[in-house]
Amino acid sequence: MMLPWPYPDDPAFGPWGGPEPESEDLRLAALVAQRLSIDWVTRRQQITVAVQNRVVILSGTVASPDAREVAGDLAWDVPGVFDVCNTLRMPARRRGPR
C-alpha cells in the first residue's frame, strides 16, 4: 500500500495549520526577489523567481558562474524555502566564422 506524501501545510494530513500554500508561495517569491534585487552580484541580472509548494525556481540568464551560485545561496537563505531549483544559465558565447 502506498500512502500519499503530504505537503507540510496540508491540513488534511495533520494539524499544521498556517497560511494557505498559494499565499506562502507568493510571500517566499517576494522575499527571494527582494534579496536578489539588493545583492550587488545579482541585482542587474535577468533572474525570474517562481515558487511552487515552497520550492524556489530560479530561471533566466546571469553574467557569471559566481552570480548563479550567489543567487542560489540567497534563495536558500530565505526562511521557509524547502528547496531551490537553480536553472540559471550564462549566455552562449558566439563563435566566429571558421
- pLDDT tens digits along 27-44: 999 999 999 999 999 999
CATH number of 73's domain: 3.30.1340
H helix or E strand, kind and range, residue 27: helix 21-38
**Domain annotation covers residue 57:** yes
**Domain annotation covers residue 76:** yes
Q: Give the structural domain span for 25.
A: 18-86
Q: Does the pLDDT of residue 96 top 90, yes or no?
A: no
**Domain annotation covers residue 9:** no
What's the mean pLDDT in 69-75? 97
Per-residue pLDDT at 3? 47
Please name the residues in contact with 87: beta carbons below 8 A apart, sequence gap of 6 or more.
57, 58, 59
Domain count across the chain: 1
**Domain annotation covers residue 13:** no
Q: Does the pLDDT of residue 14 top 80, yes or no?
A: no
**Domain annotation covers residue 92:** no
**Domain annotation covers residue 96:** no
